[in-house]
Structure 1
């Protein structure tokens, strides 16, 4: 399902700098963690890369690493920051803190399904990725509709950022585990409409 926004706003999708869990290859999901020192350096580098973009507002996930990333970007660009609760990352329930390698070794079929059909995944005690997709689709649509044709900038951690990319671009969504850890990067997406 693609976004239904009538406006065709270009979207700058920014992933936050890494946390200690990202660097250790652990599932972070909706855990609220600050950026590591490496994460701060990553964000400084992308500040230079996206300096030509001047969004008036950075729409940020409510987690600490996304807010820290947005604050650094805003200090350079003069953008305002708006925190969107619906941009909270996927709740991975009992998987929070587990090493990705541990999940791959101990649950190979589940790991493979996450690579091939991630929407089918629902961690024990967590949120299904299909439900996360429905939640974020509504929030992203609202922001894009409100923006008209102006550049929209989102600061959202993975794997939720991968879901947003899928919704905006219409590209196939796969390889959940490859998108589980953040490492400050960005993409400019021209949304497709239905």
Structure 2
């Protein structure tokens, strides 16, 4: 059984301002880099320096920088998961979440409560993103032995969707503030059969 260590990329200026980042490439702030250093210490303490077989990161600068710090602590070389870009929020990218809430309250509420029913203008739907994520994860897991522990660093809301695809739980709170989220979580994954999405082990 694989174990995925799902790590959320550390803080960017857009996180601090409450802006929708999407596919815009925003690097870590100085505070974000300090977060990554503390996160590396926490992970090595919790998991052990030799527990993780490989570490992957989304192509975004924030994920890459976070992964580089973790990889150094884990004595690994970070790899890029090319197809695991963040969700494309189209014309919403760069906007304050509060502006969307104020100017489009019905759409904002629908996005919060039923995000799979909303597609940002000129952006990517949650359903399309889930399909892309599932396919990328299948390919990633095939590269490793069934008992490997793999780390994946991803920005929000991609990280939340990755967790949803693996656990098959409800999609919710995609715009939850970064500071209110857990920094990392371990998700056990049953070996996937050919052509099927990875699934978590029943609890």
Report the alpha carbon displacement of residue 171 of structure 1 after superposing the two structures with TM.
2.0
1:81, distance to aligned residue in structure 2 (A) = 1.2
| DSSP-derived class of the 2:161 partner | helix
1:23-172 aligned within 5 A: 23-51=16-44, 52-53=47-48, 54-147=51-144, 148-172=146-170
How many residues are aligned here? Answer: 187
Kept after mapping to 1: 8 A contact 2:11/2:178: no
Distance 1:39 1:183 in 2: 14
Pair 1:10 & 2:3 matched: yes
Q: Greater RCO between the two (CA within 8 Å, min separation 6)?
A: 1
Q: Unaligned regions of 5+ residues in structure 2, if any?
A: 190-199
Residue pair 2:133, 2:162 contacting (<8 A) in 1 also: yes
Pairwise CA RMSD: 1.9
**174-183 or 114-123, larger mean C-alpha shift:** 174-183
Following TM superposition, by how much is the alpha carbon of 1:179 offset from its aligned partner in structure 2, in angstroms?
A: 6.0
Q: Shift of the alpha carbon at 1:182?
A: 9.3
8 Å Cα contact 2:133/2:165 also seen in 1: no
Q: Distance in 2 between matches of 1:86 and 1:181?
A: 26
The residue matched to 2:171 in structure 1 has which SS? coil
Q: CA deviation at 1:56?
A: 2.5
What SS class does the counterpart of residue 73 from structure 1 fall into?
A: helix
Tell me the distance in 2 between the aligned counterparts of 1:139 and 1:180.
Answer: 24
CA shift at 1:105, angstroms?
0.9
> Is contact 2:188–2:201 with CA below 8 Å preserved after alignment?
no
- Compute the TM-score of the two structures, normalised by the length of structure 2: 0.86
State whether residues 23 and 88 of structure 2, in contact with CA within 8 Å, keep that contact through their aligned partners in structure 1. Answer: yes
**Alpha-carbon contact 1:18-1:36 (below 8 Å) kept:** yes
